[in-house]
Structures are given as C-alpha cells and as structure tokens.
Amino acid sequence: MSDVERRVSSGQSWADFCDALKRAGEQIQRPEAPADAFTRAEGYRYLSRLARAGLEWYLEFNDADFPVLYKPSHETIKIGADNPDNIYEKAVVNGRNDYRVRGKRGSVHYISMTTSKGSYAEDFKQTETGFVDSNELDVDADGRFEIILSATPKPGNWLPMDVDSQSLLIRQTFLDRETEVPAEFVVERLDTGVAPLPLTAQKLDAGLRTAGTFVENTARMFADWSASWLDKPNQLPPANQELCQSVGGDPNIFYYHGFFDLADDEALVVEVARIPDCRSWNLQVDNYWMESLDYRYLRIHVNKHTAQYAADGSVRIVIAGRAPGVGNWLNTAGHRSGTLCFRWIGASEQVHPTCRVVKIDRLEQAEK
C-alpha cells in the first residue's frame, strides 16, 4: 500500500481537509472584520459555499479528459463580487489537449470565453491564456457555432491556450434576464477515450487537499480586499485593474470596488455624470465577504438596461436599507455595511462614479 493509499484508508486525507476548513474560519474572526452575529453568520455560510465550490472544481469536475461545463458561481455560491447579471460556466482542461465547444448563441447581450492557468489554490492567481468574446464568433444562420481550444492556432473560431492552461470560463452577461435567451454550450476533448477512469486514492487525496487550500486562500484573499477599503468608506475608487485581471477578471471590464457603512437613516448616493459608449455597466451591493446580495428576491443591482436616467443622460443610484421613494434604489437587505462593485464593460472611456452620504428623509422630501 502506498503512502497516499494509507492516508485515504486511515482517514488522514479527510481529516486534513477538515483542518483546512477550520483554519479558513480564522478569516471570519479577523479583528478588522465586523464582529456582529449577522456578518459572521454570513461569513461562515460563505465558507460552506467555498467548500462546495472547491469540491466541485477539484474533485467532482476535475477530469480534463472528460470535461464538463458546470456553474462555479451562482445564486448560492458567490465569490469575489460575482456579477448578478452573469451566468458563469467552467470546465477543467489541459493545455496539452485540444477541445471543441459547440454552442447555440441565443440572444444574451454579451458572452466571453477565457482560458487560464493557475488557481486560487495555487498562487492566488488565474492568468489568462486566451480570450474571445461574442463579437468575434462566427455563427451560422441558426445561431450555432463551434470553437476549438488548443495551444496551436486553428482555422475558424479559435480560443487559444498554452500548455499550462487549466480551465475554461464562460461568462454570459445579460441586460434583461426575463427577455434574453441564454446561450447553450457543450465541451468535449478531441480524441479522448470512451469513459472516465475509476476514482483512485491519489485523485481523492489530491482533490481534497487542493479543495481545502482553495477555501483557505480564497477566503483570505477577498478578506484582504475588503479590509483594504475600510479606511475610505462610502467611496467607489477605480480598482487595481492589474490585480483584478490577475485573479480572472474579464479583460473587457474596468472595475471599481469600495466599502459602504451607513446608519439606519442614511443612504449612499452614487452618481455617474454621463454614460460613455459601452456594451454595458452595472453596480451591485455585496456583503462584507464580497458576495452579491440575494438578487433572486431583492433589487440589489442595476445595469445599463434597468437604470432610470436623467434628461441629461446622467444616472443617480441610491443605496439604502429602506425605500427612499426615488428611482434606482438598491436594497442593502439588512446590511448596515458591506462592499460595492461597479463595472464598465467594453466602455470607450471610464467615467468615474462619485459618492455622497445623505439622510434618507432628505431624499424623500426632495421627491415630494
């Protein structure tokens, strides 16, 4: 019996995974993080979600010979200011292989596909190795297309990889989920076998170990991000774009991040003087752990399509815990504090948003 087989048979692999989850809990207890029971409850739920994400990535869907597109972030797994306008799909790949993605375009406003190497479980990075968006795809009259993923150039639709590529991420970005039709995708490795090989002790041990590290590293990294904004509350400055791209950001997006801290009778007013030519923009409200709030039931974000605009083309967004009787209200859903993310997607220029804190009563009176 090998050492790895002994680790699995004895339960040590599982015990080590559980120890990693326990260490990840230290991020929720950081001294600068909010100490109220609500924020900490969300923090521990967040860790449970990261655990699910890690197990799916590194154990359930970790066969690059038989890749499966699955949803790594969705309504109940939220990571790093997940975009409420997005459907995310991910597959594990190996840059030494060739793959084909078959799809049907649908009517979703924007699609991007990225191959990358590295992961939060390794070096806190996901470095882009190839990128293509929906404007570059050749699609037939029925809306269908094929795209080849490979380290060497191919004719037609081609998504580059290099030999170290490890993952494919597809983003579908909606302006209006109720009317737009999602795209459909299927991925396959070219020249692969008939069926996946059975699970081995080596795969189980490696999957648990990497999943545990993913939870620890992801929790630490985004807790660091939130902590870095605490000394400048109620602002939305441009983020470090190089950093955003290094962790897997869309290269067509310019990001802003910030921290809000409001009294019960206060609102944060975010204003954008003009909207440049762009594919889209959006602003979302997140909790301290950089999870989008529950957009299934509450209006916690606004985008280019859903916003109400002033006559001069400017936009004013109001973030508050209760309805202030004005347009573009985003609900903080019981959060006195949390984080924010603003995006320009494919913008011709960046018009920086401005922020100010006002009394909710003043907003209500101004509308009367």
Per the DSSP assignment, residues forming a β-bridge with 127 are: 117
The radius of gyration computed from the CA coordinates of the chain, to the nearest angstrom, equals 22
272's enclosing H/E stretch is strand 266-272
pLDDT at position 364 is: 67
167's enclosing H/E stretch is strand 167-173
Burial of 245 (0-12, 13-18, 19+ CB in 10 A): middle
pLDDT at position 124 is: 83
Which among 283, 287, 304, 333 is positioned nearest to 78, based on CA atoms? 287
As a whole number of angstroms, the distance between CA 76 and CA 42 comes to: 12
What are the pLDDT tens digits along the chain (368 aa)? 899 999 999 999 999 999 999 999 999 999 999 999 999 999 999 999 999 999 999 999 999 999 999 999 999 999 999 999 999 999 999 999 999 999 999 999 999 999 999 999 888 889 999 999 999 999 999 999 999 999 999 999 999 999 999 999 999 999 999 999 999 999 999 987 788 999 999 999 999 999 999 999 999 999 999 999 999 999 999 999 999 999 999 999 999 999 999 999 999 999 999 999 999 999 999 999 999 999 999 999 999 999 999 999 999 999 999 999 999 999 999 999 999 999 999 999 999 999 999 999 998 665 54
pLDDT at position 267 is: 98
8 A C-beta contact, residue 109 and residue 173 = yes
Helix (H, G, I), strand (E, B) or coil at 248: coil
Q: DSSP letter at 70? A: B
pLDDT at position 194 is: 80
